[in-house]
Amino acid sequence: MTATEIIVLVVAIAAIILVVGSIALVAGRKRVGPPTTPSVDSGAPDAALTPSPDQPLIVESSAPGASTTTLERPESIASRLVRLRQRLSGQGALGRGLLLLLSRDPLDEDTWEAVEDSLITADIGVGPTGELVEKLRERLRVEGGGADQAKAILAEELLALVDPGMDRSLNLVGPDGLPGVVMVVGVNGAGKTTSVGKLARVMVAEDKNVVLGAADTFRAAATEQLKTWGERVGVDVVAGPEGSDPASVAFDSVKEGLDRGADVVVVDTAGRLQNKQGLMDELGKVKRVIEKQAPLSEVLLVLDATTGQNGLIQARVFSEVVDVTGIVLTKLDGTAKGGIVVAVQRELGVPVKLVGLGEGPDDLAPFDPKTFVDAILSA
């Protein structure tokens, strides 16, 4: 073979390899399909905080399409938590402000005052603010500055303040085969009925047999509202006529739960805060008739996060009337006042267990301190 022939041969072989290679590549791409769509908005790049998407929550309906009403399919806990992060973006302003202040050099008294102001503005409360500022001052002095260091210290101290050690699980199981009974209290407009509906969806998705009690008999609209939720999620609602005795509706709901061997009964109540005595009489009676049949597993106080100090005062009144076991903090979407989580836990000594993040049926998520603090600091 001449040198020219060898060169021609080599070029030909190279060309064949190239053509075959690119055909294989194209075929491979076709099999794989289009690039996968991004699972989360770029605002939440932290994979460690994105829960595994196959976390079990959704139970497929065994007989789809069998009933006339189409039951809705609740969103999984995993994607709820992702959304929690996104919906908490309002909290980012606090983090940005704090980090900006803490990166000042030197950290003078004016700066510390500004730090204090922004914490109080976010409704963290005067006591916890004082503690946090003291810790930050001490640690930044000892451990030194730098923006990254300041952020890490702030994250640790905020998390400590939110108290990750509290038990935030919902107790939904009654003793000796009795249904778990949940009583939901709080002022009108706080989001009780909405939260009961959202919670029912989650429980149904976990295959629980649920009964709802419409013990807000004060307004007919309240009963209708709960019935609508019941229809959407396929859960029966025990109700009475407008103006009937709330305690008798509560009694009937728990009885219904017992009779049918339900897993959980959730009793929605009225939130007329006429005066403490009136409230105590009404809720006290509801509680007593429930407990004649089964012990209360949870008393959830629903609190609107946007109501600030006023909401805290109301929360205190309710906690004096009934033994609150958990807080549902609603309307955390779109408020920068997430510090109320800290304030209310301190005030009542009870954990925030659930958070409301919007008006949609799946806008309820378990409260997760780490996700919350990350949302504050995700500037």
Residues in touch with Mg ion (CB under 5 A): 192-193, 216, 222
The minimum distance between CB 278 and Mg ion, in angstroms, equals 17
The minimum distance between CB 136 and ligand GDP, in angstroms, equals 31
Residue 128 vs 271, nearer CB to ligand GDP = 271
Is the distance from CB of 287 to CB of 252 less than 8 angstroms?
no
The minimum distance between CB 284 and ligand GDP, in angstroms, equals 19
Give the integer Cα–Cα distance in Å for 240 and 136. 55
Picked from Mg ion, ligand GDP, none, the partner binding residue 331 (CB below 5 to 8 A depending on kind) is ligand GDP
The minimum distance between CB 87 and ligand GDP, in angstroms, equals 9
Picked from Mg ion, ligand GDP, none, the partner binding residue 89 (CB below 5 to 8 A depending on kind) is none
Give the integer Cα–Cα distance in Å for 348 and 159. 18
Is the distance from CB of 355 to CB of 327 less than 8 angstroms?
no
Half-sphere exposure of residue 269: CA atoms within 13 angstroms, side-chain side: 28
Is the distance from CB of 94 to CB of 338 less than 8 angstroms?
yes
Residue 83 vs 255, nearer CB to ligand GDP = 83
Counting every residue written for the chain, the total comes to: 379
Residue 90 vs 92, nearer CB to ligand GDP = 90
Residue 140 vs 273, nearer CB to ligand GDP = 273
The minimum distance between CB 192 and Mg ion, in angstroms, equals 5
The DSSP secondary structure of 244-263, one letter per residue, reads --HHHHHHHHHHHHHHTT-S
Give the H or E element holding residue 68: none
Q: Beta strand 264-269 with 326-330: parallel, antiparallel or unpaired?
A: unpaired
Picked from ligand GDP, Mg ion, none, the partner binding residue 256 (CB below 5 to 8 A depending on kind) is none
Which residues is 253 bridged to in the sheet?
none
The minimum distance between CB 274 and ligand GDP, in angstroms, equals 15
Residue 134 vs 359, nearer CB to ligand GDP = 359
Give the integer Cα–Cα distance in Å for 140 and 150. 7
Picked from ligand GDP, Mg ion, none, the partner binding residue 174 (CB below 5 to 8 A depending on kind) is none
Give exposure, 257-267, as e/b (b: 16+ Cβ within 10 Å).
Answer: bbeeebbbbbb
The minimum distance between CB 183 and ligand GDP, in angstroms, equals 13
Backbone angles phi, psi at 352, to 5 degrees: -75, 120
Picked from ligand GDP, Mg ion, none, the partner binding residue 325 (CB below 5 to 8 A depending on kind) is none
Residue 174 vs 197, nearer CB to Mg ion = 197
The minimum distance between CB 93 and Mg ion, in angstroms, equals 31
- 89 burial (CB, 10 Å; 0-12 / 13-18 / 19+) is middle
Picked from ligand GDP, Mg ion, none, the partner binding residue 217 (CB below 5 to 8 A depending on kind) is none
Residue 174 vs 186, nearer CB to ligand GDP = 186
Picked from Mg ion, ligand GDP, none, the partner binding residue 333 (CB below 5 to 8 A depending on kind) is ligand GDP
Report the candidate in 79, 43, 326 with the shortest Cα–Cα distance to residue 186.
326
In a 3-state reduction of DSSP, which class is residue 182? Answer: strand
Give the integer Cα–Cα distance in Å for 201 and 360. 12
Residue 139 vs 232, nearer CB to Mg ion = 232
CA dihedral 122, 128, 129, 132 (to 10 degrees): -120
Picked from ligand GDP, Mg ion, none, the partner binding residue 92 (CB below 5 to 8 A depending on kind) is none
Picked from Mg ion, ligand GDP, none, the partner binding residue 190 (CB below 5 to 8 A depending on kind) is ligand GDP
Give the integer Cα–Cα distance in Å for 22 and 123. 61
Q: Which residue is nearest to ligand GDP (CB)?
A: 356
The minimum distance between CB 304 and Mg ion, in angstroms, equals 12
Chain-centre distance for alpha carbon 263:
22
Residue 282 vs 333, nearer CB to ligand GDP = 333
Q: Which residue is nearest to Mg ion (CB)?
A: 193
Which residues of the chain form contacts with ligand GDP (CB under 6 A)? 186, 188-194, 271, 302, 330-331, 333, 356-359, 363
